[in-house]
Structure 1
Amino acid sequence: MAKKGKKRKEIKRKLLHKYRLVILNESTFEEKISFKLSRLNVFVTGSLFIIGLIGLTTLLIAFTPLREYIPGYSSTKLKRQATELTYKTDSLVTVLNYTNRYLDNVRMVLKGDVENNQLNRDSLFEQFKIDPSTVDLTPIREDSLLRAAVALEDKYNLFERNLENRSMVLFSPLGGSITQGYDAEKKHYAVDVAAAIETPIKAVANGIVIFAEWTADTGYVIIMEHDNNLTSVYKHNGSLNKSQGDIVQAGEVIASVGNTGELTTGPHLHFELWSNGSPVNPLDYVDFK
């Protein structure tokens, strides 16, 4: 015990023993600065300095842009931007896939390419529809009353436009004699109407122009999209009065009769009507007289 006590006193004496640090002028040996130090003071001061240095470094890393220069450390802003870009990329891929499908449909209409006289009737928006089996479709009382009122009004509505009703009549795009009718077996999904060159061609219904360009086979072509998944196609035109993206009213002039394209046989309008992605006989909906 005596040895341990003596050893402790010796350690304490060494830690508290005073030393003088003197700074002298080299030429005159004049004392400029002097410090009284002990080993304990040096240890405590050094520890506080190291702790302060670590704290300052931590603050610089946490709250200043200097942290971005540390290898392996990424900026929070860059992470957020990367996440936003990932979401935008996914959205762009979805839009691109939708656009490609849409263009494939337009291309199919232009070429009249139908396998086995049938087209895929799936809507372009099918992927965005909600599964009815996951939704409670039980009508409430107010809904039932509204349905009954609408049904009563529609019963006497002379302008009901429903393509499932084959007696529906659209606006006639052109008056003239029919030189070739609709023939699905021969893949002629249109009605050819002969008329003089530059005779105005009109829109069969309100809609938007989704294609208005020149094609080698069918000359100047204009395609319109209408309500109820209805698409009207006008080929072999002499000129086009509308451009892609234009909103057109029923009966508005959109083109003029011509004789353009390699597959033409004379001045006429090649008119097609597509419902839900499949060709239908225009004579069931349009009176060309």
Structure 2
Amino acid sequence: MAKKEKKGTEIKKKLLHKYRLVILNESTFEEKISFKLSRLNVFVTGTLLMIVLIGLTTLLIAFTPLREYIPGYSSTQLKRQATELTYKTDSLVNVLNYTNRYLDNVRMVLRGDVANNEINRDSLFEQFKIDPSTVNLTPIKEDSLLRAQVALEDKYNLFERDVNDVHIVLFPPVSGILSQGYDPEKKHYAVDIVTQKDAPVKATASGTVIFAEWTTETGYVIILEHAEGLLSVYKHNGSLNKAQGDLVRAGEVIAVVGNTGELTTGPHLHFELWSRGNPENPTDYIDFK
């Protein structure tokens, strides 16, 4: 015990032993500054300085842009750019999906495939069929008052209330003779119009060119997109006057009649109409006489 106490006393003396730090002029040995220090003071002072330095460094990194240069920290600008890129990616994915569906419809038109939109109407009628005997058809008081009010208004109404559906007016693309008509059973979803070679092919209505290319079977093909989801297709052309993306007006020349492609036997125009993926009989809309 005595040795431990003696050893502790010696350590305490060493820590508290006073030293003088003197700064002298090298030429004259004149004393400029002097400090009285002990090992304990030096240790405590050094520790406090280190703590203050670490704290200032932490604050500097945490609340200034310098933290962006430290691995593991992400800058605000990078986060903003990442968010914007995420939104743009989602938008591009939606646009790509829409474009793919649109191109599938165009490919379907080029191949002459018909969308499978058949619905069993009889099953729908049976499902929603209502027995009239189970329904109370006696008009209520409010209904009778409304009927009387409407009848009074219609009595003095000078204009017709019926509104007819608005349809696009279509014009014949060429003048000629129909050599083959619309025949869904033979998958001939078009009319073939025989006319002179190099005769002008005109747009049946105003629209946008969505396809204008060469195909092996049908030669030069041009497809126009019109309002209300209507597509007009012109095949076996001799040459094309419009390119994809061009806007055309009704009656504007878009091609010339030809005899191109494998599935042709002479100069004629193969003309198709498609509405939302389904073929339409062109003679129901256009008078080719």
Do these two structures clear the TM 0.5 threshold for a shared fold by scoring above it? yes
Q: Contact between 1:20 and 1:35, CA under 8 Å: does it hold in 2?
A: yes
In 1, Cα distance between the equivalents of 2:166 and 2:238?
A: 30
Q: Contact between 1:171 and 1:205, CA under 8 Å: does it hold in 2?
A: yes
Q: Contact between 1:24 and 1:31, CA under 8 Å: does it hold in 2?
A: yes
Residue of structure 1 in register with 2:248 after alignment: 248
Residue of structure 1 in register with 2:22 after alignment: 22
Which residue type is aligned with residue 189 of structure 1?
Answer: Y
In 2, Cα distance between the equivalents of 1:192 and 1:83?
A: 54
Residue of structure 2 in register with 1:80 after alignment: 80
Question: Which secondary structure state, in structure 1, belongs to the residue aligned with residue 178 of structure 2?
Answer: strand
Residue of structure 1 in register with 2:190 after alignment: 190
TM-superposed CA distance for 1:54, in Å, is 2.6
CA spacing shift, 1:108–1:255, aligned 2, 3 Å? same
In 2, Cα distance between the equivalents of 1:200 and 1:233?
A: 15
- 5+ residue gaps in structure 1? 1-12, 122-144, 163-167
Residue of structure 2 in register with 1:170 after alignment: 170
Q: How does 1:81-120 map to 2 (within 5 A)?
A: 81-114=81-114, 118-120=115-117
In 1, Cα distance between the equivalents of 2:282 and 2:223?
A: 15
In 2, Cα distance between the equivalents of 1:32 and 1:51?
A: 30
Question: Which secondary structure state, in structure 1, belongs to the residue aligned with residue 251 of structure 2?
Answer: coil
Residue of structure 1 in register with 2:215 after alignment: 215
Q: Contact between 2:235 and 2:269, CA under 8 Å: does it hold in 1?
A: yes
Question: What percent identity do the matched residue pairs reach?
Answer: 76
Structure 1 length-normalised TM: 0.72
Residue of structure 1 in register with 2:9 after alignment: none
TM-superposed CA distance for 1:91, in Å, is 1.5
Question: Which secondary structure state, in structure 2, belongs to the residue aligned with residue 98 of structure 1?
Answer: helix
Residue of structure 2 in register with 1:165 after alignment: none
Residues 30-86 of structure 1: CA distance to partner in whole angstroms, max 9, x if unpaired? 655422346776466445523431332123313444323433222222222222212
TM-superposed CA distance for 1:172, in Å, is 1.1
TM-superposed CA distance for 1:22, in Å, is 2.6
Which residue type is aligned with residue 97 of structure 2?
Answer: N
Residues 163-218 of structure 1: CA distance to partner in whole angstroms, max 9, x if unpaired? xxxxx751111111001111111111000000101111111111111111111111
In 1, Cα distance between the equivalents of 2:158 and 2:227?
A: 23
TM-superposed CA distance for 1:248, in Å, is 1.1
In 1, Cα distance between the equivalents of 2:20 and 2:58?
A: 35
CA spacing shift, 1:228–1:83, aligned 2, 3 Å? same
Which residue type is aligned with residue 178 of structure 1?
Answer: L
Q: Contact between 2:178 and 2:193, CA under 8 Å: does it hold in 1?
A: yes
In 2, Cα distance between the equivalents of 1:151 and 1:39?
A: 109
Q: Contact between 1:120 and 1:277, CA under 8 Å: does it hold in 2?
A: no
In 2, Cα distance between the equivalents of 1:62 and 1:150?
A: 75
In 1, Cα distance between the equivalents of 2:159 and 2:282?
A: 29
Q: Contact between 1:169 and 1:287, CA under 8 Å: does it hold in 2?
A: no
Residue of structure 2 in register with 1:205 after alignment: 205
Residue of structure 2 in register with 1:284 after alignment: 284
Which residue type is aligned with residue 58 of structure 2?
Answer: T
- 5+ residue gaps in structure 2? 1-12, 119-152
Name which structure has the greater RCO, CA cutoff 8 Å, separation 6+.
1
Q: Contact between 1:182 and 1:190, CA under 8 Å: does it hold in 2?
A: yes
Which residue type is aligned with residue 266 of structure 1?
Answer: G
TM-superposed CA distance for 1:113, in Å, is 2.2
In 1, Cα distance between the equivalents of 2:175 and 2:64?
A: 76
Question: Which secondary structure state, in structure 2, belongs to the residue aligned with residue 68 of structure 1?
Answer: helix
In 2, Cα distance between the equivalents of 1:73 and 1:82?
A: 14
Residue of structure 2 in register with 1:261 after alignment: 261
In 1, Cα distance between the equivalents of 2:39 and 2:255?
A: 101
